[in-house]
């Protein structure tokens, strides 16, 4: 199959019997649901840009498996140049959608599972790597989207998977059969899960032998029997369901998406299993996936940051504050922080190296430094954007009030709103409202999941990166450097 375009991707979702629940009810047509469709539009952009000559070098690659042209989101990185192009592609998509385009997790999972299965097979003589190559070939040839699913609900964080009072708090193997396994549990906070053709499952933490039932990796269609999804709430999400909603949405076309994915005794055939109780490799898979995904944030969050900086500058123009020195300085600081994140994403890519399996991995230390900065800088960029935008961003009346013909005193409600919420006259009141609602959407509303809050918790919370920085930082080597120059002999 040739590369799909956005329209073909959307139609392909209609053919799937994905079980989606929201507000306590089953959603029969999730593709056209007003709360879900903006997130589907984001994913469609990853398909459409692959057909534009201007972006072909970033959006497509030559498959290392088949030699065919594929979407870069289905690619195994073959060089540091591939790693850099990944980050640049993600920045581009952030600029085009101002939201989370949801396809990165699967790409990062492909590369982590590919190298880890190779090393499991070397030690145990299994055929997981062969299974995975066949699976990825299938994905590339169909141009499918895969949700890389790692995060478990986790229950009591002080207890290991096998110690949990409820054993389903981590996804686990409940039955081993001659033709496959049966799994039970859930994956939480799953980005783009509803919009994906397939799910690629990984363990969420390093394991001990006592936890071996939880050391499992496999792939499964999104509409397989026993699998269902519960859609996650976002701030201001029901605005999308209001009749005639437009300005109040901020970002009407695009949005992010998260869900709880539940496995109610799902059967996994042998040829789709990539880890089955090899508990000693769970930590390797987690570490590699996390490294790739922390690199990703040096691209996608930067692209969204580009749009937010631009929106703040437009708001300053419309407010008549664009010439103020403190506003100019804030825009400079926002740009400085944003480009610093990009530097980290490019640096960990440029310092990448080949794995034993042959694909390329980023520099793990620099990738974790990248994500540690992402847990901080977008919050400051958001604060500065809100500062520049002003309080009207969160206190303005609704779009219906601006259009209301209800007369109160000498004016209608609409006339009153349009009179008192006028800026400096450079733009219409409507356009001023549009840019402020857009900033609200990015900082506080239903796109915040793709920027601010996701910057904190996506790809692991800040402490997860600090643990990896401590592990990768090589303090012992740094001590020896200091001792040698200081003339300390032991």
Segment 169-195, tens digit of pLDDT: 999 999 999 999 999 999 999 999 999
DSSP, collapsed to helix, strand or coil, labels residue 265 as strand
Q: With CA atoms as reference, report the closest residue to 110 among 262, 219, 213.
A: 219
Q: Is 440 a catalytic site residue?
A: no
Q: Of 258, 287, 386, 440, which residue is the catalytic one?
A: 258
Are 114 and 242 found together in one domain? yes
- Based on the fold, state whether residues 149 and 189 are members of the same structural domain: yes
Instruction: Cite the beta strand spans of 150-250 per DSSP E.
Output: 172-177, 180-187, 198-201, 216-221, 227-231
Q: Which H/E stretch holds residue 251?
A: none
Catalytic-residue membership of 351: no
Residue 52 lies in a domain: yes
Active site residue 343: no
Span 134-141, average pLDDT: 98
How far apart, in whole angstroms, are the C-alpha atoms of residue 162 and residue 172?
10
Shared domain for 423 and 401, answered yes or no, is: yes
pLDDT one-digit tens code per residue, 73-121: 999 999 999 999 999 999 999 999 999 999 999 999 999 999 999 999 9
* Residue 77 placed within a domain: yes
* pLDDT for 146: 98
pLDDT at 350 over 70: yes
> What DSSP character marks residue 215?
-
Q: Are 337 and 233 contained in the same domain?
A: no
For residue 482, tell me if it sits in a domain.
no
End residue of a domain, out of 261, 280, 299: 280
Query: Are 301 and 244 part of one and the same domain?
Result: no
**pLDDT beyond 70 at 438:** yes
pLDDT > 80? residue 450: no
Please state, in angstroms and rounded to a whole number, the distance separating the CA atoms of residues 105 and 296. Answer: 9
Instruction: Answer yes or no: is pLDDT of 159 > 90.
Output: yes
Mean pLDDT of the chain: 96
Q: Does residue 56 sit in the same domain as residue 150?
A: yes
**HSE value, Cβ hemisphere, 13 Å, CA-based, for 391:** 1
Same-domain check for residues 269 and 379:
no
In this prediction, residues 51-60 reach a mean pLDDT of 98
Calculate mean pLDDT across residues 340-357. Answer: 98
Residues in contact with 384: Cβ distance below 8 Å, sequence separation at least 6, in sequence order: 312, 330, 331, 333, 334
Nearest to 71 by CA among 17, 7, 3: 3
104 is catalytic: yes
**Is 293 a catalytic site residue?**
yes
What is the token pair recorded at 113?
A: 């599972």
Do both 292 and 393 map to the same domain?
yes
Instruction: Tell me: do 241 and 324 sit in the same domain.
Output: no
- The residue from 256, 280, 304 where one domain ends is 280
Cα separation, 3 vs 149, whole angstroms: 24
Classify strands 172-177 and 180-187 as parallel, antiparallel or unpaired: antiparallel
User: CA 440, CA 108: separation in Å to the nearest integer?
Assistant: 30
Q: At what angle do helices 325-350 and 80-97 cross, to 10 degrees?
A: 150
pLDDT at 1 (0 to 100):
63
Determine the pLDDT at residue 156. Answer: 98
Of 189, 293, 348, 440, the active-site residue reads 293
Asked if residue 394 belongs to a domain, the reply is yes
Structural domain includes residue 395 = yes
Confidence of residue 33 (pLDDT cuts 50, 70, 90): very high
- Residue 330 is predicted with a pLDDT of 98
Q: Looking at the structure, tell me whether residues 404 and 266 fall in a common domain.
A: no
pLDDT of residue 6: 98
Which of the residues 33, 42, 117, 300 is marked catalytic? 300
* Neighbour-count burial of 449, counting CB atoms closer than 10 A to its CB (0-12 exposed, 13-18 middle, 19+ buried): buried
Q: Is 54 a catalytic residue?
A: no
Q: Quick one: pLDDT band at residue 454, thresholds 50, 70, 90?
A: confident
Residue 449 scores a pLDDT above 80: no
Q: What's the CATH code of the domain at 208?
A: 2.40.110.10
Q: What is the tally of structural domains in the chain?
A: 2
Q: Is 454 a known active-site residue?
A: yes
| Same domain membership, residue 224 and residue 362 | no
- C-alpha triplet 177, 181, 183: angle, nearest 5°: 140
The answer to the question of residue 188 being in a domain is yes
Q: pLDDT, tens digit, for every residue of 242-284?
A: 999 999 999 999 999 999 999 999 999 999 999 999 999 999 9
Alpha carbons 167 and 161: distance in angstroms, whole number? 7
- How many angstroms separate the CA atoms of 41 and 348, rounded? 30
Entry pTM: 0.96
**Catalytic entry in 297, 342, 360, 451:** 297
Asked if 359 contacts 76 with a C-beta cutoff of 8 angstroms, the reply is yes
Task: Give strand pairing partners of 220.
Answer: 199
Question: Does residue 488 sit within a domain?
Answer: no
Active site residue 189: no
Separation of alpha carbons 471 and 465, rounded Å: 10
What is the separation of C-alpha 275 from the centre of its chain, rounded to a whole number of angstroms? 24
Rounded distance, CA 50 to CA 482, Å?
Answer: 50
Which pLDDT score is estimated for 448?
67
Annotated catalytic residue within 198, 278, 386, 454: 454
Give 456 or 131, the one with higher predicted confidence: 131
Provide the CATH number for the domain around residue 366.
1.20.140.10
420 vs 412: CA distance, rounded Å: 12
Domain end (from 253, 280, 307): 280
Q: Alpha carbon 283 to chain centroid distance?
A: 21
Selected catalytic residue, list 100, 348, 370, 417: 100
Range of the domain at 170: 6-280
Choose the catalytic residue: 80, 191, 355, 382.
Answer: 191
Token representation of residue 462: 């800040």
Q: Is residue 481 part of a domain?
A: no
Residues 122 and 238 grouped into a single domain = yes
- Report residue 315: phi and psi, to 5°: -60, -40
* Phi and psi at residue 394, to the nearest 5°: -120, 5
Residues 6+ away with beta carbon under 8 Å from 96: 45, 49, 303
**Of 180, 198, 351, whose CA–CA distance to 269 is shortest?**
180
The reported pLDDT for the residue numbered 445 is 77
């Amino acid at each position: 199959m040739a590369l799909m375009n956005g329209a073909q991707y959307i139609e392909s979702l209609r053919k799937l019997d994905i079980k989606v629940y929201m507000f306590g009810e089953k959603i029969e047509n999730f593709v056209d649901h007003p709360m879900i469709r903006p997130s589907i539009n984001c994913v469609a952009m990853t398909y459409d840009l692959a057909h534009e000559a201007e972006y072909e070098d970033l959006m497509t690659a030559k498959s290392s498996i088949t030699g065919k042209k594929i979407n870069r989101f289905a690619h195994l990185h073959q060089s540091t140049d591939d790693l850099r192009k990944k980050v640049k592609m993600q920045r581009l998509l952030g600029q085009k959608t101002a939201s989370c385009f949801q396809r990165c997790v699967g790409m990062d999972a492909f590369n982590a599972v590919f190298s880890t299965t190779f090393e499991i097979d070397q030690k145990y003589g299994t055929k997981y790597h062969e299974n995975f190559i066949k699976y990825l070939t299938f994905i590339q040839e169909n141009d499918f989207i895969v949700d890389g699913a790692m995060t478990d609900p986790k229950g009591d964080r002080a207890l290991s998977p096998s110690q949990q009072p409820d054993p389903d708090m981590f996804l686990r193997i409940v039955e081993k059969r001659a033709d496959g396994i049966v799994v039970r549990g859930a994956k939480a906070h799953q980005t783009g899960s509803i919009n994906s053709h397939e799910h690629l499952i990984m363990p969420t933490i390093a394991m001990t032998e006592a936890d071996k039932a939880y050391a499992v990796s496999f792939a499964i269609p999104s509409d397989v029997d026993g699998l269902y999804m519960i859609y996650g709430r976002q701030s201001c999400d029901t605005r999308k369901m209001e009749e005639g909603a437009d300005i109040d949405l901020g970002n009407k076309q695009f949005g992010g998406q998260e869900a709880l994915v539940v496995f109610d005794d799902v059967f996994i055939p042998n040829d789709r299993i990539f880890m089955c109780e090899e508990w000693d490799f769970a930590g390797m898979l987690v570490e590699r996936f996390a490294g790739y995904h922390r690199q990703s944030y040096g691209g996608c969050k930067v692209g969204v940051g580009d749009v937010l900086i631009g929106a703040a500058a437009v708001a300053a123009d419309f407010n008549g504050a664009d010439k103020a020195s403190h506003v100019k300085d804030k825009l400079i600081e926002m740009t400085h922080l944003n480009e610093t994140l990009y530097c980290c994403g490019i640096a960990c890519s440029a310092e990448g190296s080949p794995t034993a399996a042959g694909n390329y991995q980023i520099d793990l230390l620099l990738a974790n430094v990248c994500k540690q900065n992402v847990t901080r800088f977008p919050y400051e960029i958001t604060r500065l954007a809100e500062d520049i935008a002003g309080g009207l961003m969160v206190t303005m009346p609704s779009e219906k009030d601006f259009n209301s013909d209800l007369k109160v005193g000498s004016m209608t409600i609409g006339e009153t709103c349009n009179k008192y919420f006028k800026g400096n006259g450079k733009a219409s009141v409507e356009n001023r409202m549009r840019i402020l609602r857009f900033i609200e959407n990015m900082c506080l509303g239903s796109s915040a999941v793709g920027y601010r809050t996701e910057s904190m918790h996506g790809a692991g919370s800040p402490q997860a990166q600090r643990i990896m920085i401590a592990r990768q930082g090589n303090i012992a080597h740094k001590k020896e450097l200091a001792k040698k120059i200081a003339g300390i002999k032991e």
